[in-house]
């Protein structure tokens, strides 16, 4: 089934924060290491633009990742993401910390994850989502699965769905870029 047509608009209405994993969600899941130990990650610029549009629609974005990386801190700063927790191997605890920082509850959150480490946090959120290439155990627990893979537009599609569900499409996309939801697949 088309992931545009089955996006849970009713569940997504009122979401205040999108929580994202990094490897396999914001990236394709590859980690490149240089001889000096520096890490290289590839981020999708369309996902980044989706995050910026979502922020303009009044929905916060947070990153919750099990790894620690300077690259992720730089990307979060570049996108204006103020809620960043790295090195969180117990993501349910990380989600609790994010929600306390933001002054919201997990029921105010949507979460996109791709592996079993994400499940404890995902299950606490109102909307559980995954890229289409997520681990099969995550796909079974996701309320919505993007038709795009991690690092290849899954985050962008989710951001658009959240904007549409929360009434921001006309201001954020239609007035600024002249595109309707139908123009973008919705």
Domain residue extents for the chain: 9-177
pLDDT beneath 70, residues of the chain: 1
Tell me the helix, strand and coil percentages in the chain, rounded to 5: 40, 15, 45
pLDDT at position 110: 98
pLDDT at position 177: 96
Cα-Cα-Cα-Cα dihedral sign, residues 21, 26, 30, 35? negative
Q: 9-177 has which fold?
A: Rossmann fold (3.40.50)
In what side-by-side order are the strands of the sheet with 127-130? 83-85, 60-64, 17-20, 109-112, 127-130, 144-145
CA dihedral of residues 89, 91, 92, 94 (deg, nearest 10): 100
């Amino acid at each position: 089934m088309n992931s545009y047509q089955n996006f849970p608009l009713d569940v997504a209405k009122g979401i205040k924060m999108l929580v994202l994993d990094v490897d396999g969600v914001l990236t394709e899941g590859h980690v490149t290491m240089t001889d000096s130990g520096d890490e290289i990650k590839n981020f999708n610029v369309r996902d980044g633009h989706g995050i910026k549009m979502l922020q303009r629609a009044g929905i916060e974005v947070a990153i919750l990742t099990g790894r620690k990386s300077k690259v992720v801190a730089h990307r979060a700063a570049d996108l204006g993401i103020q809620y960043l927790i790295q090195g969180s191997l117990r993501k349910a605890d990380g989600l609790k910390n994010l929600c306390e920082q933001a002054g919201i509850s997990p029921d105010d959150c949507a979460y996109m994850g791709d592996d079993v480490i994400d499940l404890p946090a995902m299950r606490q959120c109102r909307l559980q989502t995954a890229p289409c290439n997520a681990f099969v155990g995550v796909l079974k627990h996701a309320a919505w699965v993007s038709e795009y893979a991690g690092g290849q537009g899954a985050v962008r599609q989710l951001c658009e769905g959240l904007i549409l569900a929360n009434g921001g499409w006309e201001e954020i996309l239609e007035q600024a870029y002249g595109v309707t939801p139908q123009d973008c697949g919705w």
